[in-house]
């Protein structure tokens, strides 16, 4: 079972967001970057599939700046076998450009599963199932459950396939000290990469509209009639 | 379709889904700004109900229904082969829109909360960094693909009727099967009338303050008092504890929601929870700790024991809908 997982380096959600002086990007000074928590589910699922098959390889691939090597090391510390960094100065705003670069790297790699999105699936002409909440693989066939509005779809697909994992598919493992030490020696291939501009241009990065200061309506059940009045007459949502 | 906008609608079992009126509304806004027409596209097994006849009133100049037996439910591979131009939304949209973007080689702006036109180009606004910033983007390509975040575009009625067209289509690969590579074997439907938290206009969410799973009954009663407009959500703490299904989780590792009204009950308001609901129109917090961070984002708060406050609130809402 050879599995590729595309991972992304993102600011920690606890981070304070400050807009850079160009008005278009994040001021990265003092920002802590982490492995995208969504991608942790994908890495975990890949590791479990390999463990279940008893053999195979989990390759993590990231498109990003040199600093994304650290993100790749996190996934290696969780247990992935090797990493590939498609190094660019800046991740393009147009996801299709990122997908094209990642698809070019993955093409012909002999992967049974690629944990990435529908764009890469279309580019590689592979079957694709998104937001997988439960997964079973049996030889060259897989069964996935995906949560859709109004129910759960049970979907069968053939391998090789592209899957996106739903948040909450599993409980991602924490890298153990042993894993962190081992990760330092695992292969990490850095490839300078060119990506197109794409058709998405950033005009501005802006703070969200200030929420009007809220008010404490009162204490306990006695405050409920006033709350309902405010929701009706002031907020006009009832 | 020169200068026009295509709204890609969603139906389920022959009934139009609520997001469809929102998509037409967003498309109309762009259509007006571009000075173009709005066509609405529905893929279905047959005739579509659930308000499809009123799409004209929401701003569609033409409603095109493409019928194929395989279109009863969303079937990704067949759909993206049949569709040429798209403006989509929602869970289906998140699956479909990237496929169409990759096929057409055009950019896609997903999950946007605002659309506009500047110097003839489509612009969008998209929340980023867990809702702590907004990114404004220009789509410098045609067609421009955009998917709208549910519940943000309030449908607006207009005094104009649209034209309806229907055509049966043939889909290479059979529509539902995608050449047999992906097949939907079964759909385990949620109970009839159950609203998905991602799309409910009102959400009553509960956290660890509920103390035990059985107590969620009081939130279900409150949600019920809104007469089918409300869903029950949950914090991660209670999902991890196994009290509620993961599908109900709101937050960074759960669903991102923007309901008209979000009532947080016994939820402290951790940053990861706020990431999923801070774009709600009106936020109400009920918490016994006056210093709980949820009060910082709440428009209205009641400090008190939820076991006293919630039943009283349920009574008052029932009276309104009485
Ligand atoms: C990577 C990561 C991702 C995460 N993703 C999510 C996510 O998607 N969604 C999410 O919700 N969390 C997420 N979390 C967890 C988050 O940090 C919090 O731990 C969680 O939201 C807390 O849940 P809670 O508010 O229900 O519980 P608590 O923080 O324990 O809060 C319970 C609240 O109930 C109040 N209370 C208790 N009894 C009563 C009573 N009788 N009446 C009124 N009020 C009462 C208390 O005052 C308290 O404020 C994530 C964390 C991490 C690290
Ligand atoms: N630059 C990238 N490198 C690797 N994977 C990526 C990249 N961009 C996006 N992805 C993958 O696509 C997912 C969604 O990306 P996004 O839509 O940018 O949040 C990420 O969680 C990754 O799995």
Q: Which of A168, A203, A225 sits opposite B138 (nearest CB)?
A: A203
Q: State residue A193's pLDDT score.
A: 97
Task: Flag the least confident range among A71-75, A173-177, A227-231.
Answer: A173-177
Residue A144 falls inside a structural domain:
no
Contacting residues of A for B185, CB less than 8 Å apart: 143, 154-156
Contacting residues of B for A11, CB less than 8 Å apart: 129
Identify whether residues A175 and A225 lie together within a single domain. no
Q: State residue A213's pLDDT score.
A: 79
- Check A153 against B180: CB less than 8 A apart: no
For residue B238, pLDDT over 80 is answered with: yes
For residue B209 and ligand 1, the question of a CB distance below 6 A is answered with yes
User: Using 50, 70 and 90 to split pLDDT, how confident is the model at B75?
Assistant: low
- Check A117 against B98: CB less than 8 A apart: yes
CA distance A118 to B100: 9
User: Using 50, 70 and 90 to split pLDDT, how confident is the model at B1?
Assistant: very low
Residue A152 falls inside a structural domain:
no
Residue A52 falls inside a structural domain:
yes
Q: Which of A37, A133, A199 sits opposite B139 (nearest CB)?
A: A199
Task: Flag the least confident range among A66-70, A111-115, B28-32, B54-58.
Answer: B54-58
Q: State residue B163's pLDDT score.
A: 65
Identify whether residues A96 and A63 lie together within a single domain. yes
Domain that holds residue B216: 202-320
Residue B64 falls inside a structural domain:
yes
Residue A83 falls inside a structural domain:
yes
How close B157 gets to chain A, by Cα (Å)?
19
For residue A24, pLDDT over 90 is answered with: yes
Strand order in the sheet with A151-158: A188-192, A82-87, A57-64, A2-6, A113-115, A161-165, A128-138, A141-148, A151-158, B182-189
Instruction: Provide mean pLDDT across the span A127-136.
Output: 93
User: Using 50, 70 and 90 to split pLDDT, how confident is the model at B77?
Assistant: low
Residue B195 falls inside a structural domain:
no
The number of C-alpha atoms within 13 Å of B190 and in the hemisphere containing its C-beta is: 17
Identify whether residues B134 and B254 lie together within a single domain. no
Distances (CA, A) of B221 to A82, B109, B215, B225, B320: 51, 38, 10, 6, 15
The verdict on A149 touching B (C-beta cutoff 8 Å) is yes
Q: Which of A118, A141, A171 should we substitute to test contact with B (largest number of B Cβ atoms within 10 Å)?
A: A118
CB A106 within 8 A of CB A120: yes
CB A53 within 8 A of CB A3: no
Total number of domains constituting chain B: 2
Q: Which of B103, B104, B133, B264 should we substitute to test contact with A (largest number of A Cβ atoms within 10 Å)?
A: B133
CATH number at residue B164: 3.40.50.620
Identify whether residues A97 and A44 lie together within a single domain. yes
Residue A156 falls inside a structural domain:
no
Identify whether residues A111 and A216 lie together within a single domain. no
Identify whether residues A190 and A123 lie together within a single domain. yes
Summarize pLDDT for B159-168 with one digit per residue, the tens: 665 666 666 7
Identify whether residues B160 and B216 lie together within a single domain. no
User: Using 50, 70 and 90 to split pLDDT, how confident is the model at B122?
Assistant: confident
Q: Which of B145, B168, B191 is the last residue in one of the domains?
A: B168
CA distance B172 to B175: 7
For residue B205, pLDDT over 90 is answered with: yes
Identify whether residues B115 and B71 lie together within a single domain. yes
Identify whether residues A63 and A101 lie together within a single domain. yes
For residue B260 and ligand 1, the question of a CB distance below 6 A is answered with no
User: Using 50, 70 and 90 to split pLDDT, how confident is the model at B3?
Assistant: low
Mean of pLDDT over chain A: 94
3-state SS assignment for residue B226: coil
Identify whether residues A66 and A46 lie together within a single domain. yes
Residue A81 falls inside a structural domain:
yes
Contacts A–B by Cβ distance under 8 A: 248
Among A residues 6-25, those touching chain B with beta carbons less than 8 Å apart? 11, 13-15, 17, 19
Please provide the size of chain A in residues: 238
Instruction: Provide mean pLDDT across the span A112-137.
Output: 94
Q: For residue A148, how far is its CA from the centre of ligand 1 (angstroms)?
A: 25
CATH number at residue A6: 3.40.50.620
Q: State residue A5's pLDDT score.
A: 98
Identify whether residues A231 and A202 lie together within a single domain. no
Identify whether residues B66 and B142 lie together within a single domain. yes
How close A187 gets to chain B, by Cα (Å)?
30
3-state SS assignment for residue A132: strand
Residue A183 falls inside a structural domain:
yes
Identify whether residues A77 and A174 lie together within a single domain. yes
CATH number at residue B226: 3.40.50.1220
CB A4 within 8 A of CB A115: yes
> For residue B315, what is the enclosing H or E element?
helix B306-321
Q: Which of B168, B192, B215 is the last residue in one of the domains?
A: B168
Identify whether residues B294 and B214 lie together within a single domain. yes
Identify whether residues A238 and A168 lie together within a single domain. no
Residue B33 falls inside a structural domain:
yes
Identify whether residues A232 and A200 lie together within a single domain. no
Summarize pLDDT for B179-198 with one digit per residue, the tens: 568 888 888 877 666 788 98
Identify whether residues A24 and A52 lie together within a single domain. yes
User: Mean pLDDT highest for which of A7-16, A121-130, B88-97?
Assistant: A121-130
> For residue A233, what is the enclosing H or E element?
helix A224-233
Closest chain B CA to residue A18: B133
| Percent of chain A as helix, strand, coil, to the nearest 5 | 30, 35, 40
Q: State residue B81's pLDDT score.
A: 40
Total number of domains constituting chain A: 2
The rounded percent of chain B whose pLDDT value lies above 90 is 38
Q: State residue B85's pLDDT score.
A: 45
Pocket residue to mutate for ligand 1, from B262, B268, B277, most atoms within 8 A of Cβ: B268
CA distance B308 to B93: 41
CB B37 within 8 A of CB B62: yes
Identify whether residues B144 and B215 lie together within a single domain. no
Identify whether residues B141 and B214 lie together within a single domain. no
Identify whether residues B45 and B88 lie together within a single domain. yes
For residue B55, pLDDT over 90 is answered with: no
Identify whether residues B32 and B145 lie together within a single domain. yes
- Check B136 against A202: CB less than 8 A apart: yes
Q: Which of B148, B168, B188 is the last residue in one of the domains?
A: B168
CA distance B199 to B12: 14
Contacting residues of A for B131, CB less than 8 Å apart: 208
Identify whether residues B211 and B316 lie together within a single domain. yes
Identify whether residues B162 and B208 lie together within a single domain. no
Identify whether residues B124 and B208 lie together within a single domain. no
Domain that holds residue A236: 210-238
For residue B82, pLDDT over 60 is answered with: no
Higher pLDDT residue, A151 or B88? A151
């Amino acid at each position: 079972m050879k599995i590729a997982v595309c991972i992304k380096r993102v600011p920690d959600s606890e981070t304070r967001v400050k807009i850079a002086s160009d008005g278009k990007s994040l001021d990265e000074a003092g920002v802590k970057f982490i492995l995208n928590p969504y991608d942790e589910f994908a890495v975990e699922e890949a590791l479990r599939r390999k463990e279940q098959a008893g053999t195979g390889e989990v390759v993590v691939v990231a498109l990003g700046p040199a600093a994304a090597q650290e993100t790749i090391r996190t996934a290696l510390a969780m247990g992935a076998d090797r990493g590939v960094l498609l190094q660019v100065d800046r991740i393009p705003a147009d996801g299709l450009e990122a997908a094209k670069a990642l698809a070019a790297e993955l093409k012909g790699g002999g992967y049974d599963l690629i944990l990435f999105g529908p764009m890469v699936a279309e580019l590689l002409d592979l079957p694709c199932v998104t937001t997988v909440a439960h997964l079973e693989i049996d030889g060259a066939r897989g069964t996935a459950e995906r949560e859709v509005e109004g129910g759960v779809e049970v979907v069968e697909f053939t391998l090789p396939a592209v899957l996106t994992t739903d948040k909450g598919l599993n409980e991602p493992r924490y890298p153990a000290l042993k894993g962190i030490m081992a990760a330092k020696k695992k292969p990490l291939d850095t490839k300078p990469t060119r990506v197109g501009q794409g058709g998405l241009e950033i005009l501005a990065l802006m703070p969200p509209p200030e929420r009007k200061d809220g008010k404490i309506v009162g204490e306990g059940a006695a405050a409920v009639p006033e709350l309902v009045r405010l929701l009706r007459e002031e907020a006009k949502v009832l | 379709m020169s200068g026009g906008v295509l709204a890609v609608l969603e139906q389920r079992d022959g009934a139009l889904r609520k997001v469809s009126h929102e998509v037409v509304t967003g498309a109309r806004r762009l259509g007006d700004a571009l000075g173009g027409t709005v066509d609405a596209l529905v893929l279905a097994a047959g005739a579509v109900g659930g308000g499809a006849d009123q799409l004209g009133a929401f701003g569609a100049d033409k409603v095109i229904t493409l019928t194929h037996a395989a279109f009863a439910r969303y079937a990704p591979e067949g759909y993206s082969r049949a569709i040429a131009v798209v403006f989509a939304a929602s869970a289906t949209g998140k699956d479909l829109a990237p496929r169409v973007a990759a096929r057409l080689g055009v950019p896609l702006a997903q999950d946007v909360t605002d659309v506009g036109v500047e110097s003839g180009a489509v612009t969008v606004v998209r929340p980023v960094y867990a809702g702590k910033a907004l990114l404004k983007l220009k789509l410098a390509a045609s067609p421009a693909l955009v998917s709208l975040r549910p519940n943000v575009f309030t449908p607006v009625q207009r005094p104009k009727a649209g034209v309806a067209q229907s055509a049966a289509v043939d889909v290479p690969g059979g529509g539902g099967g995608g050449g047999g590579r992906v097949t939907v074997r079964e759909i385990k439907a949620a109970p009839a009338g159950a609203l998905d938290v991602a799309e409910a206009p009102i959400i009553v969410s509960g956290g660890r303050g509920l103390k035990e799973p059985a107590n969620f009954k009081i939130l279900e009663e409150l949600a019920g008092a809104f007469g089918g407009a409300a869903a029950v959500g949950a914090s991660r703490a209670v999902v991890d504890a196994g009290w509620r299904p993961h599908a109900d989780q709101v937050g960074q590792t759960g669903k991102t929601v923007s309901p008209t009204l979000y009532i947080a009950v016994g939820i402290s308001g951790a940053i990861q929870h706020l990431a999923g609901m801070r774009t709600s129109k009106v936020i109400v917090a009920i918490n016994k700790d006056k210093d709980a961070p949820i009060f910082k984002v709440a428009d209205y708060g009641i400090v008190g024991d939820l076991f006293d406050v919630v039943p009283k609130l349920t009574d008052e809402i029932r009276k309104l809908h009485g």
